[in-house]
Amino acid sequence: MRHIPRYAVALAATVASLSIAAPAGAANRWLTPQPLTIAHQGGEDEFPSNTLYAFKQSVKAGADMLELDIVVTKDHQVIVLHDTTLDGKTNGTGTVVSKTLKQIEKLDGAYWFSSTGKHYDHGKKASAYAFRGIATGKRKPPKGFKASDFRVALLKDVLKAFPDTPINIEIKGRTKQEADAEYIANAEVLAKLLKPIKRTDLIVTSFHQKAVVRYHELDPQRSLAPGVEGAEAFLLAGTSPGEGVQTFDLPVTYELNGQIIQVAAKDFIDKAHAAGFAWHTWFDDRDPDTPAEWGKLIDLCVDGVMTPKPVAFAKFAKTHPRPASCG
């Protein structure tokens, strides 16, 4: 799941730094008649997180959009990985920024995935990790797939593999305040990669507002979702979420100063829609990712649900259409 830094945000400083802005472009393509099934990390509860295998399987199952995370290697290559370290998802160790692409290409991107329980726990029997060894050639891939589908993917390869599938791209970085430079550097490398690409079905976002702002400076035509500060500026202070914003990518709930705020709430979603913004919701670890919750979100008129269970959600959405009151 995504994780929000648990620190108070200085709203006054944020508001002062943002100018009033309408959604980018004359029309917002992300305002949808039915909620999009968005495969969060490619569907990390059903498939190995952020792998080409996961993306292919989730799209085959009916996902309308992919959500993925990017970090940057030592030699400035944009790879698709949720963490800024290799330890949690792969058989590697250390930070991504300390490794070259050549080193990372040797790793097993599905090494720690298991289909039951906590999907990336490291303490299970080896037999629980069903896809382990495919990436490195120790086991044969499933029919129709390649070993490379289970390695850590390059963003450019994902874009090439899915030319017609919308993609939400989150800029990652370390969460400590002193790591501003890493978020911004990653935003700059990403912008260099994406700016020449004339696709209108990509959204760029980050928890880190400075990364979103810097990205927009370099690639101003791209659809954006704001960082934490930009979202708070709009929802709580009634000011702009930042230039270029077309969607809000927000959790069901959010912890702020020790209090749990219900973010996926009718007033907030209606406010966003009234201003011309779309609303995509995702689940933090404390939020139930269940059919009962999916139904509540659809009834609240969200435009997309970022779910780690895209296969299950896509089936559910067919039987639970958006209410006519959503417009």
Span 183-234, pLDDT tens digits:
999 999 999 999 999 999 999 999 999 999 999 999 999 999 999 999 999 9
In the predicted model, what is the mean pLDDT of residues 318-326? 94
DSSP class of 141:
P
In the predicted model, what is the mean pLDDT of residues 105-122? 96
**Can you tell me the distance from the alpha carbon of 99 to that of 140, in angstroms, rounded to the nearest whole number?**
27
pLDDT the model gives residue 179: 75
Q: What mean pLDDT value characterizes the chain?
A: 91
Strand partners, 79: 71, 154
Write down the domain spans for the chain: 11-84+155-322
Position of tokens 């289909």? Answer: 115
- List, for residues 154-191, the tens digit of each pLDDT value: 999 999 999 999 999 999 998 665 578 999 999 999 99
Max CA separation in the chain (angstroms): 56
pLDDT the model gives residue 99: 97
pTM for the complete prediction? 0.91
Pairing relation of β-strands 278-282 and 304-307?
parallel
Position of tokens 């509540």? Answer: 296
pLDDT the model gives residue 14: 35
CATH number of 11-84+155-322: 3.20.20.190
Nearest C-alpha neighbor of 324 from the set 93, 33, 4: 33
pLDDT the model gives residue 177: 59
Tokens found for residue 98: 């300390």
Q: Using CB atoms within 10 Å of the CB of residue 194, give its burial: 0 to 12 exposed, 13 to 18 middle, 19+ buried.
A: buried
pLDDT the model gives residue 23: 53
Q: Using CB atoms within 10 Å of the CB of residue 324, give its burial: 0 to 12 exposed, 13 to 18 middle, 19+ buried.
A: exposed
pLDDT the model gives residue 174: 81
